[in-house]
């Protein structure tokens, strides 16, 4: 009997040791991230479903997100590319903080944590800038014509109206465009939850606000967590504890935020 109990306790699932060889805190951070990944997956899959449902009127992201600070004209994808770079960079500084923690290098951990926070704040600022331009939209906005057609305008090509259908563009200009504008039923500028100037479906703006907003809130909470860890590092909490595992756990969350952005970047801005 006693030998049987002994043999059982030696099995890795028999208790007394960590079968995964990680602390319970890190394991549950992983389990939380799996559940959070499922949440983001459902949001992106819902986006994909509705995009297929309204594929004929869905705007191409390359024609919507074309602003770049201090540049006059359309620069598609460059700004979100920059945001991706900022987030990847702050992921690198985070993993360098974890690495410094393994070496018990107190000063180095503090420096890399500080830079990670700066990267997170830069990303949040970029997102605020992008939301501002998305919400305010173009100078002239979009005209809803009497027959229900959706006539977009372009700040850099005044006097022209653009009709999109199935990703094909038709341009109307000159006197004919002026006539259509004069007969327009309504003019939409920018975006809100019920209508937007980019596509003839509120869903496009709804998904933009919800998905990038949900991700942005994750970045925000990640920055708050990182600031708390940073203060603890400065106060020598982990130096006294003898290890920097807490930095690893907040690092897991921070990398996850970067990981989600990689998917948002592809499925919202590129595809």
Contact residues toward another protein (CB under 8 A) are 17-25, 27, 30, 34, 37-38, 41-42, 45-46, 48-56, 62, 76-78, 81, 84-85, 88-89, 91-92, 94-96, 99, 102-104, 241-243, 245, 248, 251-252, 255-256, 258-259, 262-263, 265-267, 270-271
- 214 or 263: CB nearest another protein: 263
Q: Are 100 and 119 in contact (CB under 8 A)?
A: no
Min dist. Cβ of residue 133 to another protein (A): 19
- 92 or 111: CB nearest another protein: 92
Distance CA 244, CA 23 (A): 12
- 135 or 245: CB nearest another protein: 245
Min dist. Cβ of residue 48 to another protein (A): 6
Min dist. Cβ of residue 24 to another protein (A): 6
Min dist. Cβ of residue 176 to another protein (A): 29
Measured CA distances, 190 to 73, 137, 153, 197 (Å)? 17, 4, 12, 6
- 94 or 161: CB nearest another protein: 94
Q: Which residues pair with 142 in a beta bridge?
A: 152, 188
- 74 or 189: CB nearest another protein: 74
- How many CB atoms are located within 10 Å of the residue 131 CB? 16
Q: Are 138 and 189 in contact (CB under 8 A)?
A: yes
| CA geometry: angle 13, 17, 18, nearest 5 deg | 80
Element containing residue 93 per DSSP (H, E): helix 78-102
């Amino acid at each position: 009997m006693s030998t049987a109990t002994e043999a059982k306790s030696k099995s890795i699932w028999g208790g007394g040791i960590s079968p995964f060889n990680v602390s319970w805190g890190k394991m549950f951070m992983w389990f939380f991230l799996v559940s959070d990944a499922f949440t983001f997956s459902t949001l992106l899959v819902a986006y994909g479903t509705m995009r297929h449902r309204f594929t004929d009127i869905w705007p191409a992201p390359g024609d919507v997100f074309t602003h770049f600070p201090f540049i006059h004209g359309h620069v598609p994808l460059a700004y979100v590319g920059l945001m991706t770079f900022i987030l990847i960079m702050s992921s690198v500084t985070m993993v360098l903080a974890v690495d410094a923690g393994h070496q018990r290098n107190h000063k180095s951990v503090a420096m890399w944590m500080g830079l990670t926070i700066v990267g997170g704040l830069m990303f949040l600022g970029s997102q605020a800038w992008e939301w501002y331009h998305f919400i305010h939209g173009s100078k002239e906005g979009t005209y809803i014509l009497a027959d229900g057609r959706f006539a977009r305008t372009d700040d850099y090509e005044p006097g022209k109206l653009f009709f999109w259908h199935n990703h094909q563009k038709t341009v109307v200009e000159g006197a004919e465009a002026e006539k259509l504008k004069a007969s327009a039923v309504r003019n939409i500028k920018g975006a809100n939850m019920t209508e937007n100037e980019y596509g003839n479906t509120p869903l496009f703006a709804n998904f933009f606000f919800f998905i990038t907003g949900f991700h942005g809130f994750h970045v925000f909470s990640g920055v708050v967590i990182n600031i708390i860890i940073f203060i603890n590092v400065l106060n020598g909490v982990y130096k006294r504890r003898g290890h920097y595992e807490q930095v690893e756990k907040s690092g897991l969350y921070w990398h996850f935020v970067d990981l989600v952005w990689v998917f948002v970047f592809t499925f919202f801005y590129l595809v």
